[in-house]
Amino acid sequence: MATTMLHKHRVSVLFSFGRSLYRRINVSQGEFGLQQKCSAYSRPINTLSASEAVAEIKNMPDESRPMPAKKPISKAMKAYLLQAKNYDEFMKKQNTEFQIGRRHLANIMSMDADTMTQEDIDQAIEFLFPSGLYEPRARPMMKSPELIFPPKKAAEFDESGRPYHSLFYTMNPNFYGLLQEAVTEYVNLNKEEDNMIRKRISFNSDMKIILSGSDWLSQEKLSNLLIEQIDDAQYEQFKNVMLRLAEHPLSNKVKDFIMKYRYSLVNEAALAEIPKPSYEKDGRAYVTFKGARRKNAYADVTVHMPGTGKFLINDCDIEYFQDIQSREQITFPLIFTALLGKVDVTATAIQGGTTGQSGAVRFGLAMALRSFVDDKMVERMRLAGLLQVDWRTRERKKPGQPGARRKPTWKAR
């Protein structure tokens, strides 16, 4: 009975807190919490996994029946094992329900339950329960329980209740572990520096790491990486320590370690894939960039090389845009790459207004022109902001006020 109560309690907690659930484990000698996010449970830690723990729980001594004396299990471990068992049962039940629901849905929609994908389910739910709610997560959904209930973290301590990690009682073992690692590296570098001075080896700038083009991970990203809540002071501490390491004259030797906690400012993957031009029957090279966007407009742009400077948008010349600004937008990539009059451009733009369409064509044109210029120019185009999608869109109007941000005029009475 107690088990089911606990079970119910757990479920209700799960529903009420969702992802940001904090789990607490009671230990006989007072109470301490593992202040961790559930989503972080998947991190591989050198401990028992949940399934192993469940296997173990089957061999657990039944308290009602006396058994031969065995290695004592700490209360913390017992509580953990019990909860692991409950969790597994709960997930099993949820999974069965999901499978039944899935078959029902397949019947309703006259689809094949075996080949039904999650995408089909989403579409069916949207069709059967149309919702006008603004927040997508608030709308009705039907997903595999693994996607809704976060996986559970394995135990961080052994049967006797002794933690595996030496920094367990700092409550942020991974974070302080990282700091300790950084300091260790720093000390090692210092030793090497001493050696070099002793051997009279000169230093050069190549030995120091170059930090331009990348930045430290944000507080949130670092939190996710370490699976620990990191507060502002700790983040500040992290940056100071890492910066000190990076400023060491030999810091290039620990480049891999430092770069693990930095991210590149350039989307290298996107830039690296410059398409090779295709060829028409008459031997002209051409490149098409599809789906360029700005505001609500979309554009497909094809560039032909060599050309005579023809420009066609939606089967109309540049006078398609009546205002000069839009025309300038389109001209900019061509002038920048000095290809004005040397390529032919054909574009189709849909939706949106003048600014949106011209912006979309500009971006598509710049992306397509990459294939006809050298790497140096591509880098210059990137720096000029030509290869950057402008994601800004119109902000929605809010109810109860006249605009997105504007409030009604204040009147005394």
Q: Which residues sit at the interface with another protein, rule CB under 8 A?
A: 309, 311, 317-319, 324-325, 327-328, 331-332, 334-336, 340-341, 380, 383-386
Distance CA 285, CA 277 (A): 6
Q: Are 292 and 298 in contact (CB under 8 A)?
A: yes
Chain position carrying tokens 């729980």:
57
Distance CA 349, CA 140 (A): 35
Smaller CB separation from another protein, 280 or 379? 379
Longest dimension (CA), the chain: 94
Shortest approach of another protein to residue 366 CB, angstroms? 9
Shortest approach of another protein to residue 85 CB, angstroms? 58
Smaller CB separation from another protein, 57 or 318? 318
Shortest approach of another protein to residue 379 CB, angstroms? 11
Shortest approach of another protein to residue 343 CB, angstroms? 12
Smaller CB separation from another protein, 392 or 411? 392
Q: Are 298 and 291 in contact (CB under 8 A)?
A: yes
Q: What is the CA radius of gyration of the chain?
A: 30
Smaller CB separation from another protein, 136 or 385? 385
Shortest approach of another protein to residue 364 CB, angstroms? 15
* Structure token digits, residue 411: 């009147």
Smaller CB separation from another protein, 194 or 323? 323
Smaller CB separation from another protein, 173 or 359? 359
Shortest approach of another protein to residue 288 CB, angstroms? 21
* Structure token digits, residue 220: 């949130």
Query: For 149-290, where are the alpha helices, taking DSSP H only?
Result: 173-199, 219-226, 232-246, 255-259, 268-272
Q: Are 49 and 11 in contact (CB under 8 A)?
A: no
